[in-house]
Structure 1
Amino acid sequence: MTEHTTWVEGTHSVTHTGGGDIHVSLGAAAHEPRKPVFRQLPDDQLRWVRRVLVAPVNMGRARTTLDETGTVILDGVPGSGRTATARVLLREHHRPIGAFRELLPGEQDELPLRNPALVDPGDRLLLDLSTAEAGLWHDALGGLPALRRTVHERRAHLVVVMPHDGTLDPDLQHYRVEIGPPVSPLEVLRRHLRAHGVPYEQFLRNDVTIDEFLSDRKPMREIADFADRIRRARESAGPGKEFAEWCAAAKHARAGRRAEVAECVAGLPDASQRALLIAVSMLHGAHADVVHRATALLLSAVGHPEAETPLLQRKDLAQRLSEISARSGPDGRVRFTELDYDSAVRVHFWDHMPDLRPHLGAWAGRVVESNDPHLVPDVRDGLVARLAGEYLRTGRAEALAALAERWSAQGADRARSEAAVQALTCGLADPAHGKYFRERIYQWCVYRRLTAEFAQVLVQVCADVLAPDHPDHALIRLHHLARHERGTTHALQALCDLMAGSRRLRRRLLDRLARGDLAPPDLAIFLRVSDPAPLTDRSVTTRALVDEEEVRRSLITCWRAVLTEAVSRPEGRPMATRAEIRHWLHWAAEGAGDRGELLLDVLVEAADRCGEDRGSTFAVLYTSARQAECASPAYDARSAKTTDLLLQKIGVAQGLGPATPSASASGGRS
């Protein structure tokens, strides 16, 4: 496959580090919550890599090392497919528990490699340091032994991709496997072509273009890209074209078309033709109506006066397209006649007309909100992805981020909000600028006063784009968004959804809340995320979250703040708080099994720490227990017994009864 994985077919991936487009569609109004669409994408990506990977040299040894030890450290020359191999190895260890995650040591909000909280049972962890500088690699080496031990203890799996020129400590040499590129580059190309749907009877023939391309050893990335060009040449070829002609077109496109485009532009002095050339390159494959309207919008954006020629005397669109080597097909979609001509046009105007760049951003915003039935999501997203590609190619990540924010200004409609999501998705997926966008999104979530539209864009990006590979980063950002949320609960719901399947994330958020200032927004968040059902669940492991001392400590700290707020501000949230208490007591009686007493211990100890208000908080607990008992669906002896046990614990806390061992003192029953 590739050194930096390139999804070279029309997959539904949000990870994208090669050529082509990324398409993201919200599918609903940007101001309404919706079901996340990207939650399962990491596994989709891993399946795709597995499909196209030809096993590199020493793949078997790497697999055995990972199977036997839970850890493998991959080394190899750049271009040998190390990262793709790492992903496939982790894909082979897919289990119902745990998740695939990529670790980002040194980044903001990333736990240190030494921290055991980084790993959940069954996790599949990728630590890709193939391009890391010496300092980062040295720091990572210091934490690797501790990380490896945690991975082993929790039956997780870790694949590290080390820098090829990096050194490795002697005690880690046992886990190192040096892989080499596959023996047959031709088989790599054919595997990609087969995955792209090219008939095998075509690519099994000998072809002089392929022989020439593979005559010297190519990195896996270049082979994947060449296969993708053949695929696109096949799709755009006219009837009667054969495999050899597709390969020749791919070869020509690979050589680059900058000189051709420069000559074409020089021969088009008319602004309207240049605008059409740009519009086709940015909307390649769009319907002719969309291209025509976009051309007019571009001329307006740059202040070009409208044509004075009478309408029926003007050139029709077909003639104008032929003058720029483009045509409209039977389906009405406009494409250049030569492969990759569109990307060469974009590069030419972006590089050689820099004053045009700000106009292109404003123009794209107007195009995406056009009311045209042919402006389907794929076309809109393709436009944004191509524009974002030029920003990123030339190192203008900050300008792209600012553009996404402008598109999400007050009053932005759904189309502009979707475009902003798409732009940020492209930035996050870019290997050179992903870190910048993760940090920029953090700054927005923490420090900026956001419009409702932009806040929802960030919720969408965190929940659907950032969370699959980097859930900890998404957790922190969604927490900040939820704290600042007013009038909606989109961020809070996304935060709850994110934690729903992860004990590790729930543990981390509870710890984060307990260590914070527990302002009223945090208390509201706590009451939503402290559902006792997952806290007492033992379907994954024999030990429930509430069995863990650290989790109980966090719960006690947060409940103390909730109870204090309830009794000190009776005009605030006492009814809502009592409803949450009743829910805990219902669960302690009927759903928690032998962990029910631990839930009571948490509430009583939290109330006992309320200082001058402890008497009032004990009264709130007891009253809530009686109400819960009366409202119990079963209204049976279990609820009454729970109330009696709670009253006994309150008495002990107040020194009114005999001391009895609490469940928390013994760490819970197992």
Structure 2
Amino acid sequence: MSERHSTWVDNPRGPMHTGSGDIYFTVGTHLQDTDTSAFRRVADDQLTWLRRVLVDPIGMGEARRTLSDTGTVILAGTPGSGRTSAARILLREHHQDTGVFHELLPDEEDELPLRDPDLVGAGDRLLLDLSATHADRWTAARADLSTLRKAVHDQHAHLVVVMPHGSALDSDLQQYRVEIRRPPALQVFQRHLRVHGVPHEQYLAVDQTVDIPDDEWPMREIAAFADLVRRAREAAPAGHGFRQWYATARKARDDRRQEIATVVTGLREGPQRALLITVAMLHGAHADVVHQAAQLLLSTLRHPPDEIPLLQRKDLAERLREISAGTGPDGHVRFTELDYDAAIRAHFWDHMPELRQYLGTWAAGSVDLNDPHVTREVRDGLVARLAAQYLRTGRGEGLASLAEDWSATTTSRARLEAAVHALTCGLNDPAHGRSFRQRIYQWCANKHLKGEFAQVLVRVCADVIASSHPDQAMLRLYHLARRERGTTRALQEVCELVATSSRLRRRLLDRLARSALSPAELRIFLPACDPVALLAPYDNSSALVEENGVQTSVTTCWRAVLDELPHAEWRPYAERWLHTATDAGHRGDLLLGLLVDAADQCKGKRGTTFATLYASARAAERTAPGGAVRAAATTERLLQKISAAQGLALHDTPPPTASPRGTTP
């Protein structure tokens, strides 16, 4: 794996690293006991939902047959026809016990080119979405598609390509092309309503005077509007029916900028506007939380305190009525009109830009409020709404810096979770995902990380990036693991990630073998190069240990381990190799051979290394799962290989029944 290194600095807040060499950092403990599912992007849930609401577009059946028969399908169609949703569903339907989902990004600097066979692992599900790409990128991809398709076929994988609308396709790939055409808009709309739980007798009985979405609406807009109808139904008074819900949703969809500007103009007092902003940012939160957060916003903005005696002030109910909001029976605060909160957020962000710098500080304080009603849902909602404003206005770098600030100083677990959620919003945004991945790479590989920020990056890489870009996640976790001190969280995550794919483990071993092989990198190699995984068959019968490239990588790294690390540090890993080799037949001999080849390359201390390796094998007999006698046979096989490497003739003798201490070859 080749990569280009570059360094950039944006809004620096501490020591920077712009040259060669390592930077070390310590990761704290705030997130170490966190349930990882709390941060993990719910990719599977999203796909399950997509499958439930998807009305198969015209051509979906042919696409299924083509993918099943050939392992490849190239989807064509107009924008808004549901091509990308169809692509993800097709790959979900081919989920296997082996392989991972991998969205290919051939133009990003730390991704392998499409023609590289190491891009495809056994049973992988690959998505190449080029629906919005420019002509030059599509031309470059087309040149490599045949090579990529062959690798997919050889690895029993599945590939779905979404090609740009109206682009050309080479004649040899035409057999994989399937035209996707949108299903009827009304059918899509009704499917979404049904899945949302809207009674079918409501929307099926509506007459033609209701302006139902038509075939000019893109699929994503139909889905968003159906969700508006759902929310209108949930907020409507008893007795209202579909016609009223639909009208409310239609109004919420309209452009309300002028209306909101007029409302804000009529609210001149600072506390009024603070409450308006707070309700918009914490819409649906409990009244106690809204009250505290509004006071916190005034404090953050250094607004003069209210001098009116407490009992003479307006109560919260009156203040909420002034801004067209109220408290429901559950004690939670909402505006009276649907999506009014979104319009308020956009207004203040767009028309009071000097407020933006304070909102990040206020949001961090709000997630830390000591109130039982400040739940995970409330915190995540606040962060998501703030992130949406940054991303909507093209200020992704500001959101990234905010997440760094939230976790770079002594901080709470809630604030660290908020930082993770903010970066997740950036990574999942179609327009900003690439820049966030690149920025995270620079953080992981090059930048001095302050406070608890490193553990935030570990969670983001392991739980967000890895779900669709496992290669990029592996590389970032590798950089974090080689730099961490005081914890092994990044190391644990990179080992868990490569355990999901033989291809990923191969790439990590290759990356390590071509690195400087510092002690930190060797401490990644030892647990990552698990002998059981090397022996495990993939693609029906192959094993990594039988591959020449893997053997070279493993030998190179083991040589450095034997040459540079203390015996006490590597002995437990060597013992695991020896125990694994006992019951592995000829592949077990390959494991032993790799250890011996590595020791043979320890120039200047070759004999000593052989002796230490042999002594380790004798010691391993005492803890062998299969018993000392069988382990002694493995030791004898190791001794024969050592003798052969030294050019010595060793007569065949029965393996000893007991292990003499201190014996050396």
Unaligned runs of 5+ in 1: 1-27, 567-572, 661-670
CA distance in 2, matches of 1:127, 1:646: 47
Task: Give yes or no for contact 1:589–1:639 (8 Å, CA) kept in 2.
Answer: yes
| CA 527–521 in structure 1, closer or farther in 2 if over 3 Å, else same | same
Instruction: Find the aligned partners of 1:221 and 1:631 in 2 and give their Cα distance.
Output: 60
SS at match of 1:107: coil
- Structure 1 residues 506 and 324, CA gap change in structure 2 (3 angstroms): same
How far off is 1:39 after superposition? 6.2
Q: In the TM superposition, what is the alpha-carbon distance from 1:600 to its structure 2 partner?
A: 0.4
- Find the counterpart in structure 1 of residue 643 from structure 2: 651
Counterpart for residue 193 of structure 1? 193
TM-score using structure 2 length = 0.91
The residue aligned with 2:69 is: 68
Alignment-derived partner of residue 23 in structure 2 = none
Q: Is 1:598–2:599 an aligned residue pair?
A: no
> Which structure 2 residues correspond to residues 509-520 of structure 1 after superposition, within 5 A?
509-520=508-519
8 Å contact 2:196–2:230 — kept in the other structure? yes
Quote the residue 2:115 is aligned against: 114
Instruction: Call closer, same or farther: CA 1:419–1:37 in 2, change over 3 Å.
Output: closer
Q: Distance in 1 between matches of 2:446 and 2:93?
A: 41
- Structure 2 CA distance for aligned equivalents of residues 40 and 349 of structure 1: 30
Q: How does 1:126-525 map to 2 (within 5 A)?
A: 126-182=127-183, 184-208=184-208, 211-215=210-214, 217-525=216-524
Q: Tell whether the 8 Å contact from 2:98 to 2:501 is kept in structure 1 after alignment.
A: no
Instruction: State the distance in 1 between where 2:339 and 2:208 align.
Output: 21
Change over 3 Å in CA distance of 1:631–1:226 after alignment to 2 = closer
Shift in Å, 1:35: 4.1
Paired with 1:336 and 1:35, the residues of 2 have a C-alpha distance of 34
Please state how far the C-alpha of 1:410 moved relative to its aligned partner: 2.2
Which runs of 5 or more residues in structure 2 are unaligned?
1-28, 653-665
Question: Which whole-Å CA distance do the structure 1 matches of 2:123 and 2:285 have between them?
Answer: 45
C-alpha contact (below 8 Å) 1:36/1:463 kept by paired residues? no
Matched with 2:623 is 631
1:381/1:422 contact within 8 Å kept:
yes
> 1:535 corresponds to which residue?
534
In 2: Cα distance, 1:152 partner to 1:659 partner: 48
User: How many angstroms apart in 2 are the aligned matches of 1:154 and 1:437?
Assistant: 31
Q: Is the 8 A contact 1:261 1:348 kept in 2?
A: yes
The separation in 2 between residues aligned to 1:472 and 1:452, in whole angstroms, is 27
Q: Alpha-carbon deviations, 1:482-512, whole Å to 9, x = none?
A: 1111001111111111122211111111111
Q: CA deviation at 1:33?
A: 5.7
The residue type equivalent to 2:65 in the other structure is T
Query: Quick one: distance in 1 between partners of 2:116 and 2:607?
Result: 39
Bigger mean CA offset, 234-243 vs 511-520:
234-243
Deviation for aligned residue 1:363: 0.7
Identity %: 61
Looking at structure 1, the residues matched to 248 and 344 of structure 2 have their Cα atoms a distance apart, in angstroms, of 17
What is the match of residue 8 of structure 1? none
1:54 and 2:46 aligned: no
Q: TM-score, normalised by structure 1?
A: 0.91
**In the alignment, residue 104 of structure 2 is paired with which amino acid?**
L
Specify the code of the residue in structure 2 equivalent to 1:622: Y
Quick check: 2:39–2:421 contact (8 Å CA) kept in 1?
no
What's the CA shift for 1:594? 3.3
1:365–1:407 CA contact under 8 A, matched in 2? yes
Matches within 5 A, 1:59-98: 59-98=60-99
Secondary structure of 2:73's aligned partner:
strand
Amino acid at match of 1:114: R
After the TM superposition, which of the residue ranges 190-199 and 384-393 deviates more from structure 2?
A: 190-199
Instruction: Give the Å deviation of 1:153.
Output: 1.2
Task: Check the 8 A contact 2:47/2:88 in 1, yes or no.
Answer: yes
Alpha-carbon offset, residue 41 of structure 1: 3.7
- Can you list the C-alpha shifts for 1:45-94, whole angstroms capped at 9, x where unaligned? 22221111111121222122112111111111100000011111112212
Structure 1 residue 593 displacement after superposition: 3.6
Aligned length, in residue pairs: 624
1:37 CA drift (Å) = 5.1
In the alignment, what sits opposite 1:620?
Answer: 612
Could you tell me which amino acid in structure 1 is paired with residue 619 of structure 2? Q
2:570 is equivalent to residue 577 of structure 1: yes
**The residue matched to 1:370 in structure 2 has which SS?**
coil
**Alpha-carbon spacing, 1:471–1:38, altered in 2? closer, same or farther (3 Å):** farther
Instruction: State how far apart, in whole Å, the 1-side matches of 2:75 and 2:47 are.
Output: 17
Deviations 1:442-488 (A, max 9, x none): 00001111134110100111111111111111100101111111001
CA–CA separation in structure 2 for the residues paired with 1:614 and 1:231: 73
Question: d(CA) in 1 for partners of 2:417 and 2:449?
Answer: 16
